[in-house]
Amino acid sequence: MQRKILIGLVIVAAFGLAYFLGFRKRTGRLDAFAQCLSGKQAKMYGAFWCPHCADQKELFGSSFQYVSYIECGVKGQKEPAQACVDAGIKHFPTWQFSDGARVEGTQPLTSLSDRTGCSLP
């Protein structure tokens, strides 16, 4: 009887561990950092065809979903999206911060951290 209980506990523990590890894997390690950037009103303007934008997104991995991102590329058109024209965006990626300051090009995460006060894990 004790052996059956022990086997049952081991099975439950194994499923619990598998669930926990699966959940942690889906949660990006930079989620809190990306959410902090958005909370501090940092925005990234980019375009789907821009290789530097792809590089910037890759630095965030799955956590990029939490970054405030404005897509400037409009498929089938040469002109950028109106929101990007109105904002005066000329190069991609462009990061804009709450104080109105901008930086162009792929930014190291440490630089974004320094500018916003958001801490990296």
At 23, list the tokens: 């959940």
DSSP string of 17-58, one letter each residue? HHHHHHHHHHS-TTHHHHHHHHHTT-EEEE-TT-HHHHHHHH
pLDDT at 5: 75
pTM greater than 0.85 (yes/no): no
Sign of the torsion formed by the C-alpha atoms of 57, 59, 63 and 69: negative
pLDDT at 4: 76
pLDDT at 25: 47
Reduce the DSSP state of residue 96 to 3 states and report it: strand
pLDDT at 67: 98
In tens digits, the chain (121 residues) has pLDDT values of 787 776 766 676 666 656 555 544 456 999 999 999 999 999 999 999 999 999 999 999 999 999 999 999 999 999 999 999 999 999 999 999 999 999 999 999 999 999 999 999 9
Domains and CATH numbers, the chain: 31-116 (3.40.30.10)
